[in-house]
Amino acid sequence: MAKVGRLLKEHMVEELTRQLSEQPQVFVARVGRLTALGADELRRKLHASRATFQMVKRRIGLRTFEQLQLNDMAAFLQGSVGLVSTAGDPTPIAKELMEFVASHQDQLTLCGARIDGEVLDARRVEVLAKLPSRPVLLAEVVG
């Protein structure tokens, strides 16, 4: 008979795998002393941009990335991490995350992301955050 803890962890991996397969743009942030109020504040900000923030243990994240064949993201998983995922434009999410990290420096550290199948380190995510959103870029090209 399987233990309840193991079944719970397997369920968590399945749910996270489903969520990340539906929302393939993924940001990884290392969580330091982030309070519950801080996490809720970040969730509210990201929800407005149609993104989700979820705290995961390293092992759960590793198993999820393994199932999704995202082994190149495993290096970002150190300690407790927060995963931010979205199916939409990643630029506003990167901006929200960088603003939050700037105002909560010792609580959250951006590690990297996977955007459109490409792995970005924290420095490249900062560059992404400085870009205008996709509709603005398209408008500049067209007009």
3-state secondary structure (DSSP) of residue 23: coil
Residue range 120-140: mean pLDDT, rounded = 88
Q: Is the pLDDT of residue 133 over 80?
A: no
d(CA 108, CA 26): 16
pTM: 0.88
Which position has the higher pLDDT, 16 or 140? 16
Q: Is the pLDDT of residue 92 over 80?
A: yes
3-state secondary structure (DSSP) of residue 35: coil
- Whether 97 and 129 have beta carbons less than 8 Å apart is answered as yes
Q: Is the pLDDT of residue 15 over 80?
A: yes
d(CA 92, CA 129): 7
Give the per-residue pLDDT at 2.
66
Taking residue 112's Cβ as centre, other Cβ atoms within 10 Å add up to 20
Give the per-residue pLDDT at 143.
72
Q: pLDDT tens digits for 51-70?
A: 999 999 999 999 999 999 99
Half-sphere exposure of 49 (CA within 13 A, CB side): 23
- Of the pLDDT bands very low, low, confident and very high (cuts 50, 70, 90), residue 84 is very high
d(CA 32, CA 44): 19
Q: pLDDT tens digits for 110-124?
A: 999 999 999 999 999
Give the per-residue pLDDT at 80.
87
Q: Is the pLDDT of residue 141 over 60?
A: yes
- Whether 13 and 64 have beta carbons less than 8 Å apart is answered as yes
